């Protein structure tokens, strides 16, 4: 986009997974988690505006659903791999794909990168970066609309067909003034079957629902 980074340290930090965070500052290990929090919010806002403009006759439910399909964990993980972030992430130890920390490592790094671009270059540049370098080249919006990855809806529909009682419980964890993380549980007939995590309640619920769909083999 014709611009060089002004603060390289931000981009190095964006690629530093919590397992490799070694610089202790004011009681915590510095990693890309704070940038991930910021990038998550910026990405959601930019995509919300993009969809709002692109689909002027669609209601809030449609816009929310399509945005969630673009920013879900699997989608962001795949996009991060596509643009090569998997080769840049710093982490310690062997990746355990069953660990929540590592399962979202690529998508989290992508959100952290967006946070770094936002801080380094500002809103206008970051918005252009997201749309022209990430969304438009790598997402076919028509395909996104026709491809239903709303795992929460899937498991609710399945439970109704199977005459099962399903509910979602969400609690806030790892919270401070600047950072929130949520844990969601899928409860089937009063038994917790899977838990999921995310920086928003909706992301945590989708994560838990996706894991539950895998367990129950719901397609």
Map residue 69 onto helix, strand or coil.
Answer: helix
- Catalytic residue (choose from 36, 40, 120, 205): 40
Closest Cα partner for 179 from 112, 133, 82? 112
pLDDT at 19: 80
Is 111 marked active-site? yes
Within-domain flag for 89: yes
Within-domain flag for 2: no
Is 60 marked active-site? no
Q: Which residue matches tokens 């769909």? A: 213
pLDDT at 97: 44
Kindly state whether residues 168 and 122 are assigned to the same domain: no
Which CATH number belongs to the domain containing residue 191 in this structure? 3.30.160.20
Within-domain flag for 3: no
pTM: 0.69
Kindly state whether residues 78 and 162 are assigned to the same domain: no
Q: What angle do CA 166, 73, 85 make, to 5 degrees?
A: 165
Counting the structural domains of the chain, the total is 2
Closest Cα partner for 184 from 105, 109, 100? 100
- Catalytic residue (choose from 33, 36, 111, 120): 111
Burial 7-43 (b: 16+ CB within 10 A, else e): eeebbebbbbbbbebeeeeeeeeebbbebbbbbbbbb
Per-residue pLDDT of the chain (219 residues; tens, 9 = 90+): 667 888 999 999 999 988 876 666 566 678 898 999 999 999 999 999 999 999 999 999 899 889 988 998 889 999 999 999 989 998 876 544 444 455 689 999 999 999 999 999 999 999 999 999 999 999 999 988 887 777 888 899 899 999 999 999 999 987 665 567 889 999 999 899 999 988 788 888 988 998 999 899 887
Supply the range of the domain harboring residue 37.
8-146
Kindly state whether residues 18 and 114 are assigned to the same domain: yes
The first and second tokens of residue 178, run together, are 């600047």
């Amino acid at each position: 986009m014709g611009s060089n980074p002004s603060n390289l340290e931000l981009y190095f930090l964006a690629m530093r997974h919590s397992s490799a965070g070694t610089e202790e500052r004011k009681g915590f290990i510095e990693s890309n988690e704070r940038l991930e929090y910021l990038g998550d919010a910026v990405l959601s806002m930019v995509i919300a505006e993009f969809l709002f403009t692109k689909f002027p006759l669609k209601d809030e439910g449609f816009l929310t659903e399509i945005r969630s399909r673009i920013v879900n964990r699997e989608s962001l993980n795949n996009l991060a791999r596509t643009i090569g972030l998997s080769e840049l992430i710093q982490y310690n130890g062997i990746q355990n794909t069953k660990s929540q920390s590592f399962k979202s490592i690529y998508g989290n790094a992508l959100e952290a990168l967006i946070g770094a671009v936002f801080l380094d270059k500002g809103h206008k540049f970051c918005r252009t970066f997201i749309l022209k370098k990430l969304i438009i080249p790598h997402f076919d919006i028509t395909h996104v609309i026709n491809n239903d990855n709303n795992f929460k809806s899937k498991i609710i529909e399945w439970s109704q067909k199977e005459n099962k009682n399903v509910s979602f419980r969400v609690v806030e964890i790892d919270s401070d003034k600047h950072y929130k993380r949520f844990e969601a549980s899928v409860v089937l007939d009063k038994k917790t079957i899977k838990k999921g995590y995310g920086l928003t309640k909706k992301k945590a619920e989708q994560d838990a629902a996706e894991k539950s769909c895998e367990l129950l083999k719901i397609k």
